[in-house]
Amino acid sequence: MAKRQHAFVRIAVLVAVALAVLVLDQVSKAFMRSYLADGPREFIPGVLGLRLTENTGAAFSMGEGSQWLFVGIAVLVCIAVLIWVALDSSLSLSLVCSLGLVVGGGLANLIDRVCLGAVTDFFATEFIDFPIFNVADIAITCGVVLTLLLWWLQSEGSDSKKDSGGQRG
């Protein structure tokens, strides 16, 4: 019973974070489609501009024209993460939150691909040559980095416990 309750809490946290990212991303894209209809604008001069683009590829416009491949990958990743979160009782809630960022960002871009045929991007860095991106891309990137960091920290913690388990000081 306790394991099922914990699975419910983990899934609820995953869904809440993913839903928050999805809503924030879709609202920002809808706003930017209107706000940038007349052309690009400065946001933070010399640092970040706003320029509307439609991306049919993946991150950094790689694989343009492979829409349905990316749709399939996004669906599989979301299902895999949901199963992992439901079944792995060792996952911390912070790790579940980071996975929620990945799922939310993936679903938000998936909605664009299916409904619009391309992903709406609008953040343009001005101080370096970098692809234009959106809120979902930020969430996915932060989620992947946090997931790897938290997973590494969690495994380091278990290794430390194993190493010091037999020693007395």
Catalytic residues: 121, 137
Residue whose entry in the numeric block shows the structure tokens 């895999």: 80
Q: Please state, in angstroms and as integers, the Cα–Cα distance from residue 83 to each residue in 43, 47, 86, 153, following that order.
A: 40, 40, 5, 22
Helices (H) and strands (E) in the chain, counts: 4, 3
According to DSSP, residue 118 is labeled S
Dihedral Cα 91, 81, 104, 124, nearest 10 deg: 100
